[in-house]
Amino acid sequence: MAVTRVFGARIKRREDPRLITGTATYTDDIVIPGMCYTVIVRSPYAHARIKRIDVERARKHPGVVAAFTGKDLEGKVNPIPCAWLIPGSDLKTPPHPALAVDRVRYVGEGVAVVVATSRHAAADAASLVEVEVEPLPAVVNQEKAMQPGAPQIHDGVPNNVAFHWKVSSGDVGRAFQEADVVIRQRMVNHRLIPNAMEPRSCVAAYNRGSGDLTIWMTSQNPHIHRVLLSGILGIPEHRLRIIAPEVGGGFGSKIPCYADEAVVAFCAMQTGHPVKWGEDRRENYLATAHGRDHIVDLEVAAKKDGTITAIRGTCYANLGAYLSTAAPGVPTILHGLMMCGPYTIPNIDYEVYGIFTNTTPVDAYRGAGRPEATYYVERLVDMVARKLNMDPVEVRRKNFIPKDKFPYTVATGITYDSGDYEASLETLLRIIDYPNFRKEQEKAWKEGRYLGIGFSTYVEICGLGPSQVAGAVGFQGALWESALVRVHPTGKVTVLTGASPHGQGEETTFAQIVSEELGIPIEDIEVLHGDTEMIPMGWGTYGSRTTAVGGAALFVACRRIVEKGKKLAAHLLEASEQDILFEGGRFFVKGAPDRAKTIQEVALQAYLAWNLPAGFEPALEATAFYDPPNFTYPFGAHACIVEVDPETGTVKIRRYVAVDDCGRVVNPLIVDGQVHGGLAQGIGQALYEYAYYDDFGQLLTGSMSDYAVPKASQLPPFETARTETPSPHHPLGLKGVGETGTIASTPAVANAVVDALQPLGIHHIDIPLTPPRVLAAIRQAQGR
């Protein structure tokens, strides 16, 4: 694609040809001679005491190589750890066995595993495993789980409370006493199930001679998986290799270290055979981490001019049956600290109870804590506007952090690096022609049509780092990122990144950054990732950090290449190093641009080493480890226009406009794609998706027949625009964009529906806004 400037160009993703032609290699495509297959036998009970597991019939089935129970793993496979230990929260971390031993605690928990020479033999043998249990009472609702007499899921965890975390600042009590308006509202942010195109999969191969174990797996962070699995399996880290081939989507669900991958690795080590395992979609719904699931009691205090003075709330976060890898950090650090939104709210008092239930464990799902916070804050802002009979736009303007106040430390203690919230909102209002819409709405109401508009002005914390902060909030790792840039003798470039992109497009955007910095054509640059034996240590892809942190490491490495190249170019051109300039892939002498060497010529001489300056090391490559000084804080303003059918409760989105500010943009085409995908998921939560358990702990939405993933036909054409406020501490001014659409869209849709139903006096409806739920609210308001 012909472009005049690489950084900022709308270049099509270089990854896509192999992905859309079926020539990419996913984990399930891995085939190794002598490979066997596993099936994990899972509990159909949400809570039960295991009395007996008999695998003898399964072991005798034709084609079966081995069968194991939890007792076979005891002393050989350590419990699955939690990697985010929130300090000051009385956190309790009960053991999570790779296979259940004495009790099962949710439907889908593994109790045994069968290894066979074919998938069919493994599945048939798994059906022969005899499991005798004593069913126990189950509890799936987090509030009920806290009550006296509720079933206790773990010993040593009274009332099933895993942690109690608080953030408080200012004089909240006084703010509420002096408020002109106080609004109280309970909100539910329901449970969601990630629906990556590729379910989780794993292949493990063990070399008994060398003691090396290689695991191909669907991972968003291979090095983190290597560290954790090393401890679980008792294998030295340098003997364990994790490879993430193509990963067909993650959305946070492929961050955690699951029991299943450890079980597969154990099977490979015990049998000496390479072993493959892969979920089907039903298994994926039961065994892969879920997201969200909050019940929150909220209060907001405001003055009659619309100034919001305080927010107070108690959040009950459902953690499922065990602490997943990052579970404690999602409803606390990534959620509670964002409860001020983009506003100058001076007083905050927010507490979170993390609660065990007999459900699938909960962990990060696209946005991870920030969509929940944005939903609560943006709904409260609209409620304040409604109570005061003010325009919701004016209430937002009244409370925005002013542009000239950045960096700004909010009441929860974090410091936003930059922002111009008014600019994104004004851009949005121009696009939608807001005054004209309100006239159209008045006319529609008079005609008996329920037309509404909802706004969401959000800010998010992403670009996850810095490492010192990560350690201070209990994350058991670092958040710097690595990059190695190698210019080959012929001037071609290989980039090795510790990030692990899986659909975000960094094979393109990282090549664009290198091309811009080194002046090398983008087609001459390859980007490699996902193999712990090949790439430097890195911390993976999540929290919109890949380009924000990994891209910064890449930039630093490129600058080091240029500095090294200047030394050699100065020697070759017989000039002073201070007189050498670099631009467009050429080193040249200041004031004499014809005296020049291309970077390709310099690279060749660096490898030939025939004529190097004293002390100059051969080759031309550089490694950088970038630890950001702060998080980044993208922001934006979204608007959703809906029409509600009062006879059916159906919500039709007529228009959706997103104005986002993610700092400087490497590739607008990829940014738009990220926003579009996020919007689909956020709208899905607002209107369709809902993971539902019955009182016995059975997942009633356990397939795509029951769990309503939105179809393309249910989504409107998305209109996107941007403002640009570069991050002041990032070397390229980048911020991150992978989660913005999900964070902003759910409250925009919810606010639009409630706005449409204003004439009926409806103030709040919990999401998802399904036709039966909306219709019930309409009929209740009408007295029917």
pLDDT at 2: 40
Domain of 81, CATH number, reads 3.90.1170.50
**Chain position carrying tokens 């390859």:** 526
Look at residue 40 and tell me if it is in a domain: yes
pLDDT at 662: 97
Convert the pLDDT of each residue in 427-481 to its tens digit: 999 999 999 999 999 999 999 999 999 999 999 999 998 999 999 999 999 999 9
Model confidence at 754, pLDDT cuts 50, 70, 90, reads very high
Q: Residue 103 corresponds to which tokens in the numbers above?
A: 């009790």
Beta strand 651-661 pairing with 525-528: unpaired
CA-CA distance, 224 to 226, in Å (whole number)? 5
Q: Which segments within 504-555 are labelled E, that is strand?
A: 525-528
Smallest CA-to-CA distance from 543 within 145, 224, 234 is with 224
pLDDT at 488: 98
CA-CA distance, 426 to 678, in Å (whole number)? 22
pLDDT at 3: 44
Convert the pLDDT of each residue in 272-319 to its tens digit: 999 999 999 999 999 999 999 999 999 999 999 999 999 999 999 999
Interacting residues of 255 by C-beta distance below 8 A, sequence separation 6+: 220, 221, 224, 325, 326, 363, 364, 540, 542
Look at residue 17 and tell me if it is in a domain: no
Q: Residue 288 corresponds to which tokens in the numbers above?
A: 């892969």
Look at residue 51 and tell me if it is in a domain: yes
* Statement to judge: residues 398 and 525 lie in one domain: no
* String of DSSP letters for 219-259: -S-HHHHHHHHHHHHT--GGGEEEE--B----TTTTSS--H
Report how many domains make up the chain: 3
pLDDT at 784: 76
* Statement to judge: residues 444 and 580 lie in one domain: no
pLDDT at 1: 36
Model confidence at 225, pLDDT cuts 50, 70, 90, reads very high
Last residue of a domain, one of 581, 610, 626: 626
Convert the pLDDT of each residue in 567-581 to its tens digit: 999 999 999 999 999
Look at residue 211 and tell me if it is in a domain: yes
Convert the pLDDT of each residue in 56-70 to its tens digit: 999 999 999 999 999
pLDDT at 465: 85
Q: Is 719's pLDDT higher than 60?
A: yes
Q: Is 4's pLDDT higher than 70?
A: no
* Statement to judge: residues 621 and 637 lie in one domain: no
Last residue of a domain, one of 227, 262, 287: 287
pLDDT at 5: 75
Average pLDDT, the chain: 97
* Statement to judge: residues 113 and 209 lie in one domain: yes
Look at residue 654 and tell me if it is in a domain: yes
Domain of 653, CATH number, reads 3.30.365.10
Q: Which segments within 646-708 are labelled E, that is strand?
A: 651-661
* Statement to judge: residues 641 and 505 lie in one domain: no
* Statement to judge: residues 666 and 601 lie in one domain: no
Convert the pLDDT of each residue in 150-194 to its tens digit: 999 999 999 999 999 999 999 999 999 999 999 999 999 999 999
Convert the pLDDT of each residue in 319-362 to its tens digit: 999 999 999 999 999 999 999 999 999 999 999 999 999 999 99
Beta strand 347-356 pairing with 308-320: parallel
- Mean pLDDT within 213-224: 98
Look at residue 509 and tell me if it is in a domain: yes
Measured at the CA of 714, the angle between CA 711 and CA 719, to 5 degrees, comes to 110
* Statement to judge: residues 236 and 101 lie in one domain: yes
Give the helix, strand, coil percentages of the chain, each rounded to 5: 30, 25, 40
Question: How many other CB atoms are there within 10 angstroms of residue 599's CB atom?
Answer: 23
Convert the pLDDT of each residue in 237-285 to its tens digit: 999 999 999 999 999 999 999 999 999 999 999 999 999 999 999 999 9
CA-CA distance, 417 to 459, in Å (whole number)? 11
- Could you give the percent of the chain with pLDDT greater than 90? 99
SS3 397: helix
* Statement to judge: residues 639 and 546 lie in one domain: no
Report the Cα–Cα distance between both ends of the chain, in Å, rounded. 61
Q: Residue 233 corresponds to which tokens in the numbers above?
A: 């399996």
pLDDT at 279: 96
* Statement to judge: residues 635 and 661 lie in one domain: yes
Amino acid letter, 238: H
Last residue of a domain, one of 591, 626, 661: 626
Q: What are phi and psi of 186, to 5 degrees?
A: -90, 135
| Side-chain-facing half-sphere of 253: CA atoms under 13 Å | 26
Look at residue 421 and tell me if it is in a domain: yes
* Statement to judge: residues 653 and 619 lie in one domain: no
Q: Is 22's pLDDT higher than 70?
A: yes
* Statement to judge: residues 570 and 441 lie in one domain: no
CA-CA distance, 441 to 451, in Å (whole number)? 6
Interacting residues of 460 by C-beta distance below 8 A, sequence separation 6+: 338, 367, 370, 374, 544, 633, 634, 635, 739, 740, 743
Look at residue 179 and tell me if it is in a domain: no
| Side-chain-facing half-sphere of 674: CA atoms under 13 Å | 30
What is the domain range of residue 264? 31-136+197-249+254-287
pLDDT at 184: 98
* Statement to judge: residues 396 and 454 lie in one domain: yes
Q: What are phi and psi of 742, to 5 degrees?
A: -70, -40
